[in-house]
Amino acid sequence: MSKFAFAAIYKTYLIREEFSVQDDNLSWEVIKGPKSFKIPVQGASAFPKGYETVIMGSDEFVLNDLDFYLVIKAETDEENPFKARIECENLINKGIAIVSASEGSEFFVDRVYYGWIYENKNIIAGGWVKMVDKTLEEKSLIEALKRFDVDLGEEERFELVAKFYSKSLEYKPSEEKYILLWTAMEIFPMENTSHIQPLIDFLSGLLSRPSPLVKEKLDLGKLYGYRTKLIHDGKFDIPPEIKGDVFTKVENIVIEIIRSMIGLPYSGSLEKYFD
Cβ pair 229, 235 in contact under 8 A: yes
Q: How high is the pLDDT of residue 65? A: 78
Residue 132 is predicted with a pLDDT of: 76
Amino acid sitting at position 77? D
Q: What is the pLDDT along the chain (275 residues), one digit of tens a residue?
A: 468 899 999 999 999 899 999 988 999 999 998 999 999 887 777 777 777 776 777 889 999 778 999 999 999 999 888 889 989 999 999 999 999 999 999 999 999 999 999 876 666 666 677 777 777 788 888 888 888 776 777 888 899 999 999 999 988 899 999 999 999 999 999 988 778 999 999 999 999 999 999 999 999 999 999 999 999 998 998 988 899 999 999 999 999 999 999 888 999 999 999 98
Inter-axis angle of helices 175-187 and 220-233, nearest 10: 110
Phi and psi, residue 172, nearest 5°: -75, 170
Q: Is the pTM of this model over 0.85?
A: no
Quick one: which of 226, 207, 205 has its CA closest to 217? Answer: 207
Amino acid at 34: P
Any bridge partners for residue 38, and if so which?
A: 60
**Of 247, 226, 246, which is closest to residue 237 (Cα–Cα)?**
226
Q: What is the pLDDT of residue 124?
A: 67
List all residues 6 or more positions away from 122 whose beta carbon is below 8 Å from its beta carbon. 2, 3, 4, 5
Q: Where are the domains of the chain?
A: 4-117, 136-274
Classify each residue of 75-111 as buried b or exposed e, where b means 16 or more C-beta atoms within 10 Å of its C-beta.
bbebeeeeebbbbbbebbeebbeebeeeeeeebbeee
